[in-house]
Amino acid sequence: MTSSTAAADPGGDRTRDAERTREELLTVATRVFAEEGYAGARVDEIAARTSTTKRMIYYYFGGKEGLYLAVLERAYTRVRSLEAQLDVDGLDPAEAIRRLAELTFDHHETHQDFVRLVSIENIHHAEHLRRSPILPGLAAPALDVLTRILERGRADGVFRDDVDALDVHMVISSFCIFREANRHTFAAIFDRDLLDPAHRPRLRRLLGDMVVAHLTARPGGE
């Protein structure tokens, strides 16, 4: 090993350690904020549940608000990344939109902390998320794939041409978020657990059916 290589290794190790520490803090903080809300979460508790210290939280994130914003940004970035990676160009438009709806369904089911964080941030009128420097980039991935699918469907004469991509995104997200966010009240009123695995295939198919049916319906019932 050359002296230059040896000299570079410690720096590389420190970088990797810093990345691991930051990732651990974000993972634990995600859980704590989702469980306790922004107001209820405590930096001391987050530090105690990690292998680091409160001082390191302030070092990496500047404090509780900075940590919370980083948690939100990571959560949104991850789902937007999944949407952007979805390869739908080889599918017919109806199957492509169904695949996108199912991806959202699967993500929200397996990332229930994301749904809770969205609910918490809405309680705060998105005041933290609005301060995010990456906010402008959070919308494009969600709509780019969807817009491409809708444009192909219109060009093929399969989809109606009076549908807004953001409306379709809202419908898909609403269904998936409702299933988690309203799980307990829905069960209390109707005695049905929306996350019961027995209902999963039907609800997943229902979401795709509703979106495809709306996009392929003729305007005004024609």
pLDDT (mean) for 127-156: 90
Q: What percent of the chain has pLDDT over 70?
A: 91
* pLDDT at position 26: 96
Residue 175's closest CA among 125, 103, 83, 120? 103
What is the pLDDT confidence band of residue 208, given thresholds at 50, 70 and 90?
very high
* pLDDT at position 218: 80
- Which of the pair, 13 or 106, is modelled with greater confidence? 106
pLDDT (mean) for 204-217: 97
* pLDDT at position 6: 47
Residue type, 78: R
* pLDDT at position 10: 56
Give the contacts of 32 (CB within 8 A, at least 6 positions apart).
41, 42, 45, 46, 49
Q: Is the pLDDT of residue 176 over 90?
A: yes
Q: Which domains does the chain carry?
A: 18-76 (1.10.10.60), 80-216 (1.10.357.10)
Residue 39's closest CA among 7, 12, 65, 74? 65
* pLDDT at position 90: 87
Q: Is the pLDDT of residue 27 over 90?
A: yes
| The model's pTM | 0.88
Q: How far apart are CA 137 and CA 77, in angstroms?
A: 9
Q: What is the mean pLDDT of the chain?
A: 90
